[in-house]
Structure 1
Amino acid sequence: MKRIIPLIVIDERGTAGIARGPASVAGPGDPVRLAAWYAELGAAELAVDCRRLAAPATRRLVERLAAASSVPFSVEAPIDTPEAANSLVEAGASAVTVQEAALRDPDLIAALARSIGSERVAVRILSQGESDGWRVLEGSGGPVTEWDALTWAAVVEAQGGGAIVIQSAERGPFGEPYDLALLERVSSSLHTAVIAAGAAGTVEDVFDAFMIGGVDGVLLGELLHSGRATIGEIEEYLAARGM
């Protein structure tokens, strides 16, 4: 089963900044209403990006989301200890996603896996193409690290990461939102679930991530929020092509 995962990005005020489309009407700034709307539309899971939100506010939001819907959701936040991850899981999150803290201390991944279970730990990898392959960026707009993206992905798996979220810092030569070559290399070389993140603009972009990139799932924001496609339409498109 290919995973179509609506992504809700939370700003520092705790609101979902969606300016237009059906999602802006269904949950105007309210991530809880927006999550409930996606649940009604058949979402099997959700992802909530809380990287800009303070830790206490993130926990309160997780509690509200868990109380309002039975759909499992992962939370991405600046988690740097097992205790912080435990707090969010206890509040109702089904999984957590980390990025920069794992780069600073790769052993954090193993510590999180021991604390909350490998299946609840995902690591985001932001990559940049270079002449000799791909390099990992520390964060959005951050410096290039010494890590090769393929090597870092293998370390994430070895440390017990249950999923890897791959995002490219730049679009492809034809404007494609995913680095399909990197997705394919990671997907084909590891057993860990691979999730593609990027600004997909069409259903065809999603198809390419699955068909060419070989990923297990995609995080989708504007494509779904705007109403240009629905979860059902994407699933029908994929099913018609043998997925």
Structure 2
Amino acid sequence: MNPVPDLPLISGNAGHNRSLILGSTSRYRRELLQRLQVPFEVMAPDVDETPRDGEPPAALAERLALAKARAVAAACPEAVIIGSDQVADLHGLPLGKPGTHEKAVAQLRQMRGQTVIFQTAVAVVCLENGYQAQSLAAVKVKFRELTDDEIENYLRIEQPYDCAGSAKSEGLGIALLESIDSDDPTALVGLPLIRTCRMIQAAGVKLLSGVSNSGSRP
């Protein structure tokens, strides 16, 4: 898989450990960010997530990730803000969160036997020091030839209605898959941590320096 080029990095303030805010209400992204063992807060971005006419899935994910980061940064200009978005890409057709059992059934029926690209974008913004960068982690996922019974049984057990593509690879959803191809292992869950680490450090958040177990603040 060829990596998607990143926007040029703008140097952050390495001498100051800035506060970190996750601009997302996703519990999956929050749990992933807690792995870094740095304190962070969570804020909900006020962003219209409606796709534009003819907007490709990758462009949609990148636009929304940056919009989320900028929306929170406007209220907290001194902090480093993470925004992220994920869109399942089925041959150019964007598949979002199903929301209901019926829509999840339809999505999985569409995806069985197909290769789906989960376009996971992350953006990091700090207005005070002028930092802005974003990156796209494209994860290729091949689904098995699933039967209707397998789809129904899976959805009843795991109920992944808040997940793009109706499957949780970190849970029972792994049984739906034939293969995963990614250069950033956590991207499929919702936040590419390799890319995130690189960008938040450049923005002024220190990692592996006085590691804390406090995780996110309430």
Higher relative contact order (CA 8 A, sep 6+): 2
TM-score band by shorter chain is under 0.3
Give the TM-score normalised by the residue count of structure 2.
Answer: 0.27
Give the TM-score normalised by the residue count of structure 1.
Answer: 0.25
Give 1 or 2: higher helix fraction: 1
